Copies of this chain bind each other. A is one copy, B any other.
């Protein structure tokens, strides 16, 4: 559960001012969107809503939280009383997880009493920002992998365990085959994957390269499934040959339970493209065309694309740190902007940071034929277009695995119809997001004197 004090102090300060001014209950609308896409990005994959809704449902300030707040800053007792009663009473409209979205399109809009909506800003931002960034990164790796298997290996160097969960869920949404993260696998109904580390082989082999075959055998003997052997601990060519011996012994039913086979070998260092070619040649020559070659170690969409462009016969990629931190673009320019107060649209006209007024809807023409950003209450401004924001049932409970599977289905549907020019990982075409006539007119006139 998210600590309700995981919030910027100024949200409390502003809510207290609203309470003092008698404006905390005034209806307000906030819109959460990404101002600009990071470098190389042509789209975003919406994610994080499932946890954001869980947060909204549970959001309360109990006496313990209020006591901690009161210790950090002086607040009026009337505000603390108000806080004791606060819970989410508003309405959420959002783009369902897994859908592809673009800059300036609301991921989520909140209609709620001003004080309440203001206090939710920080948590809604951190619950949507990184999940969307990392689901997008996952989709980019998927693009580069061009149909090959992808596995999330990112937990160990993610920004904490929660970030590792967010990355694994992004991987699940964007169609990865598995994650190494057991907690995420269990929670999101996603396969878990992984076999062995170098140090383990070193130890089993008594730190002696001559012991590699024995270590492979010992591991295959007791492993309850089709193993993947890590072949680059000492000499990779020798490791491939030792893996072939074990593959033959497994085929012959000589190791542990019968009916098993060597699933693959893993390369984690060196000139992976050249080593993969060598491995494929030797495996094929040994009559083992079905033993897969997996690569890992410092991979991201750029490196995967480079390996495949070099013709490396790799069947699957384990992507770790660079994926799970979205290393080339570790954040998104998400903002949470007030767009209406008391039914009155609010806009901001400052250069580069303009905010369009009013509650919104995003309309998408079929086949990604262009989106139109319109007002939530205007009729469809583009014939045949589909609305992206949907009402969210905040009190409805959704199973973690079901919600993840549904997000993945939505992603697959959008992904398969998104034209390749927008999916390019280094030079994507800019997707057209127009503004409806009504929204344009409102924006030109909204600010009254301002």
Asked whether A203 lies within 8 Å of B341 as measured between CB atoms, the reply is yes
Selected contact of A8 from candidates B153, B207, B321, B450, CB within 8 Å: B153
Interface flag for A85 (CB, 8 Å): no
Asked whether B74 lies within 8 Å of A17 as measured between CB atoms, the reply is no
A302 partner residues in chain B, CB cutoff 8 A: none
Interface flag for A405 (CB, 8 Å): no
Which A residues between 175 and 211 are near B, CB-CB below 8 angstroms?
A: 180-183, 185-186, 191-200, 202-210
Count copies of this chain in the complex: 2
Interface flag for A164 (CB, 8 Å): yes
Asked whether A166 lies within 8 Å of B161 as measured between CB atoms, the reply is no
Selected contact of A156 from candidates B126, B165, B195, B218, CB within 8 Å: B126
Selected contact of A449 from candidates B183, B210, B332, CB within 8 Å: B210
Stretch at the interface among A220-228, A426-434, A436-444: A220-228
Query: Interface size of A by Cβ–Cβ distance < 8 Å?
Result: 106
A448 partner residues in chain B, CB cutoff 8 A: 206-208
Asked whether A181 lies within 8 Å of B76 as measured between CB atoms, the reply is no
A233 partner residues in chain B, CB cutoff 8 A: 348
> What CA separation (Å) do A207 and B269 show in the bound complex?
58
Interface flag for A130 (CB, 8 Å): yes
> What CA separation (Å) do A17 and B215 show in the bound complex?
10
Distance in Å from the Cβ of A222 to the closest Cβ of chain B?
Answer: 4
Find the B residue at minimum CB distance from A51: B160
Distance in Å from the Cβ of A299 to the closest Cβ of chain B?
Answer: 14
Asked whether A156 lies within 8 Å of B129 as measured between CB atoms, the reply is yes
Selected contact of A196 from candidates B10, B28, B74, B159, CB within 8 Å: B10
A447 partner residues in chain B, CB cutoff 8 A: 207-208
Selected contact of A223 from candidates B5, B17, B127, B210, CB within 8 Å: B17
Find the B residue at minimum CB distance from A220: B17
Asked whether B130 lies within 8 Å of A186 as measured between CB atoms, the reply is no
Asked whether B186 lies within 8 Å of A69 as measured between CB atoms, the reply is yes
Sort A-B residue pairs by CB-CB distance and give the 4 closest, nearest first: A10-B194, A199-B338, A159-B159, A159-B163
